[in-house]
Amino acid sequence: MVDNVVIVGGGTAGWMTATYLNATFGDQVTVSLVESPNLPTVGVGEATFSTVRHFFHYIGLREHEWMPHCSAAYKLAIRFQNWGGENEHFYHPFERPRHVDGCTLADWWLKVGSEAFDRESFVLAALCEARRSPNRAGGALFDRNLHDGGDLPRREVMNGADTQFPYAYHFDATLLAHFLADLGMRRGVHRVLDDVERVVQDETGAIDHLVTKQHGDIYGDLFIDCTGFRGLLINQTLGARFESFQDVLPNDRAVALRVPVDGESQGIAPYTTATAMDAGWAWTIPLYDRIGTGYVYSSEFTTPEQAESDLRAHVGPAADEVEANHIRMRVGRNERFWMRNCVAIGLSGGFVEPLESTGIFFIQYGIEQLVRHFPGPDRSPALRDNYNRLMAGCFDGVREFLVLHYRAARREDTPYWKAINELPLPPGMADRMELWKSRLPDSGSVIADYHGFEPYSYAVMLLGLGQRPRYPHPALRGLDSAAARAEFERVRAEAEQLVNTLPSQYEYLAGMR
C-alpha cells in the first residue's frame, strides 16, 4: 500500500500536486514536498485552459480566495496576431460553436457567412474586443446555464466535463506556488526546504530514499519528480528516455519580461495574445498589475541577444528597465512518465512549448490521472502502463495541434517560416490535413486520445488562418439557411447586449479586491 508520497521540487507543479493529493487522500496518505531554497523555478506558465477551474474546485477554493493573491485575471480566448498576415488577427475562444439543423455554425459560415468567422460565430470575440469581464457585477457568470466562479460544484476531472466553460485564468505562477504552499502546509503537507544531494535506489532499481543536505534521509513509497527540465529522478536517476519533438516543433528557447502596467488607466485584456515574429512568436499575458510577455524562438534562426532586442522593440518603452529571463526549453516528452516507483509531473515529464498554454494543463492532467491510477496493495503494473499510455497520447495530441498552427499559417516571409513549412509532420497528420481540405475537423478526424482540444479548436485555427475547405458540407445543400442566418443574428445581438451590460475586466477584478 502506498502510504507515503514524496514530491521532489516545488513551483507550480510541486504544489499543485501536493494540494491535490492532500485534498484527495487527507490523512490517509502522508504527502511531503522537498524543495531547494536555492534553485529558481521557470515560472513563466501564466496562462491556462478553462479546465483549470476543476483544479481549484477540487481543492475547495473559490475565485475570491486565491485570485487577488496571484495577480490573476480572466482569459476568454487566445488572440492570434499576424499569423495570417500583418495587422490581421482572430480569436480562439473557450466557446463551442452552436448547431443549426445538425451542423455547426462553422459549417454554416462556409455557406452563408459574410463577416470574420470568429466575430460572426462566437459571443466571446466581442467580449475580448471590448475587454469585458465574463462575470457580472454581482458575481454571476454571463452564461447562467453554467456554474459561476463563486460556486463549488461536484468534483470533476478535465475530460469528464460535458460543457465548455467560457474562461480560464492568467496568473503569476510564482505567486500561485507560494499561495498553494501556504495552503498545503496548513492542511497537512510536510514541507522540507533542503537540497537533495543523492538519490538512493534499492536492489530492484526503485527509489529507496533521498539524501538531503540538512535533513538526512527521506524515505517514501512513491516519489513524484517535479524538478523541471532537470528530471532529477525520472531522467538522471532512473534513465527515462526523452523523445524530442524538435523535428516538428523547432522552437527551443524563450526570453521573458515582467512589464509593470496600470490596469486602471490601460484596462486589462481578457485574452492571451500570440504574435507571430521573425523566428517564432511572442506571448502577451495581462495580469492585474503587470503583463507577462516573452518571445519563443528557434536558436537556429536567431540569437538570445537579438531575440531580447526584438522582444523589447515589440513591447515598447515600458520594457526598458525590465530584466530579461532567458530560458532553454526541452521540447518533447519522456517515453515513460512513470517508472518503477517514480512519476514525473510538469516539465520533468515533458513540455510542448507555450503556444496554446498547455504547461499547466499537462500538470493538472498528470495529477488527475495519477489519482485515477494510484497504486493499490498489489501495485499492479497495468496501472502504470495505462498511465504512461494516456500521458503519451495527451502530449502527442497537443504536438499535432500545435504543428497545425505553424503549417496552416503558410508564412514564407523569413528563413524561419520557410523552414517551418519544410519540416516533417507527425505520423498520420498529412492524411488528416488532406481530409480537412474537404471537410472541417470533427470527432472522427482528429486524434482520439484526450489532449484537451476539441474538434472546433482545429476548425477555428484553420478558418482563422484562411484554410477553408474546398466547399461547404454537402448536408447543407438541401437545407434552408434561414434558421442559420437567424442564429448568426442571435450571436450578434447577444454579444452586443453583453458588451453593453458586463463590467470591464479591470472593474470586476478591482471590485473583487
454 is in an annotated binding site: no
Q: What is the DSSP string of 447-483?
A: --S--S--HHHHHHHHHHTT---SS--GGGGGS-SHH
More confident of the two residues 159 and 435:
435
418 is in an annotated binding site: no
CB 170 within 8 A of CB 286: yes
In this prediction, residue 377 carries a pLDDT of: 87
In this prediction, residue 43 carries a pLDDT of: 57
Residue 39: pLDDT band (50, 70, 90) is: confident
pLDDT at 42 exceeding the cut of 70: no
Residue 44: pLDDT band (50, 70, 90) is: low
Residue type for position 176:
L
pLDDT at 284 exceeding the cut of 80: yes
Residue 156: pLDDT band (50, 70, 90) is: confident
Ranges of each domain in the chain: 4-476
376 is in an annotated binding site: no
pTM of the entire predicted model: 0.96
Residue with cell 499547466: 360
Output the CATH code of domain 4-476.
Answer: 3.50.50.60
Residue with cell 532586442: 309
75 is in an annotated binding site: yes
Per-residue pLDDT reduced to its tens digit, 399-417: 999 999 999 998 999 999 9
**Crossing angle for the helix pair 11-25 and 173-187, nearest 10 degrees?**
30
pLDDT at 418 exceeding the cut of 80: yes
What cell numbers appear for 367 in the block? 495529477
- Active site residue ranges: 75
Per-residue pLDDT reduced to its tens digit, 161-171: 677 899 999 99
pLDDT at 288 exceeding the cut of 70: yes
Per-residue pLDDT reduced to its tens digit, 171-197: 999 999 999 999 999 999 999 999 999
Per-residue pLDDT reduced to its tens digit, 200-252: 999 999 999 999 999 999 999 999 999 999 999 999 999 999 999 999 999 99
CB 251 within 8 A of CB 299: no
Sign of CA pseudo-dihedral 337, 343, 346, 347: negative
The predicted model gives 345-370 an average pLDDT of 96
pLDDT at 40 exceeding the cut of 80: no
Per-residue pLDDT reduced to its tens digit, 378-393: 889 999 999 999 999 9
In this prediction, residue 508 carries a pLDDT of: 98
| Strand 253-260, strand 325-328: pairing | antiparallel
213 is in an annotated binding site: no
11 is in an annotated binding site: yes
Greatest CA separation for the chain: 75
Average pLDDT, the chain: 94
Residue 145: pLDDT band (50, 70, 90) is: low
pLDDT > 90 fraction of the chain, expressed in percent and rounded: 90
In this prediction, residue 154 carries a pLDDT of: 61
More confident of the two residues 152 and 69:
69
